[in-house]
Amino acid sequence: MCNSAKQSTSISDEFIQPYFETVLSHSAGELKEKISRSETFLDALASFTRDPRVLRDQLIAVLLAGRDTTAATLFFCIFELSRNPKVVAKLRDEIHNRLGVGAKAQKPSYTDLKEMKYLNAMLHETMRLYPVVPFKVRYSLRDTTLPRGGGVDGLAPVGVRANSRIFYSTMLMQRDPDLPWHFIPFKGGPRICIVQQFAIIEMRYTVLRILQVYERISALPVGGKGKVEDPVLHFEVTLSPGSELNCVFLKEGEEAAHSAATTGVA
């Protein structure tokens, strides 16, 4: 495991090293002028620090933390949209009214992505149902008492010793009707996910651009027979589909039988 991690780190370093060398070859003035024309994430980092180690660590943290987790969330999002055509239609209306669809569609700005309320609500609902990190662990810093949660009825106090490991399920909390305001897919406080905003914007952009091209998304049963089942969930550190999920993207006037299927296999 250790050798595998070292090998992966070495490959990552070899890949990104030329980009670091390029950005660090610019003077502060050259970098500022470059950013004014077209800013990249690495350019923005280099404007704050010239330390190669810090640049590498920050870039790797964002790229890796925002890859598999974002992909899994988008996977569940697209599948749920394929089973909820009314939601797709409402999303398309919002997108059409602001940016257009089809050949005349405009690319969204950051402001567009932030202000599209129904799109954002749909993604939040996806993250509520399928939090990509479904279980979390914390350690208590000192002896304390929780006001309730113990006893047969769950109303008695619970004593917690210092340095106790506390396990809790984001998925169970967010699906519990008795906890209607619990929504913590990115956690919170000082250990909140550092790529939260990056991941959200990435997902908003992806869904929006898909629905600017395709009018409908249709779910398909596994093997083409039977009914569409709820996805099997696979748990490790993160949540991912544990079985095959199929859907097709349909442009206006197309039928499912005439479109190529996109298949996800965990």
Mean pLDDT by 10 residues, the chain (266 residues): 67 80 79 71 80 81 75 91 95 96 91 95 91 83 89 89 87 78 66 72 94 92 77 82 85 63 40
- Give the pLDDT of residue 143: 94
Q: Helix or strand or coil: residue 25?
A: coil
The encoded tokens of residue 152 equal 């047969």
Please check whether residue 260 lies inside any domain of the structure: yes
According to DSSP, the β-strands at 261-264 and 233-235 are unpaired
Whether residues 89 and 160 fall in one domain: no
- Give the pLDDT of residue 79: 92
> Which residues make beta-bridge pairs with 169?
135
Please check whether residue 234 lies inside any domain of the structure: yes
Whether residues 212 and 232 fall in one domain: yes
Please check whether residue 182 lies inside any domain of the structure: no
- Give the pLDDT of residue 94: 97
User: Which residues span the domain enclosing 45?
Assistant: 10-65
The encoded tokens of residue 98 equal 């602001």
- Give the pLDDT of residue 89: 96
Q: Contact, 60 vs 13, CB < 8 A?
A: no
- Give the pLDDT of residue 5: 61
- Give the pLDDT of residue 190: 61
According to DSSP, the β-strands at 135-139 and 233-235 are unpaired
Alpha-carbon distance of 175 to 182, in angstroms, equals 9
- Give the pLDDT of residue 244: 79
- Whether the model clears a pTM of 0.85, i.e. scores above it, the answer is no
Where are the strands (E) in 91-210, listed by range?
135-139, 144-150, 156-160, 165-169
Whether residues 198 and 257 fall in one domain: yes
Whether residues 85 and 205 fall in one domain: yes
Q: Which residues contact 10 (CB under 8 A, 6 or more apart)?
A: none
- Give the pLDDT of residue 76: 92
Please check whether residue 203 lies inside any domain of the structure: yes
Whether residues 123 and 211 fall in one domain: yes
Please check whether residue 123 lies inside any domain of the structure: yes
Whether residues 141 and 48 fall in one domain: no
Total domains, the chain: 3
Let me know if 185 is exposed, middle or buried by CB neighbors in 10 A (0-12, 13-18, 19+): buried
Whether residues 46 and 76 fall in one domain: no
Whether residues 116 and 205 fall in one domain: yes
Please check whether residue 88 lies inside any domain of the structure: yes
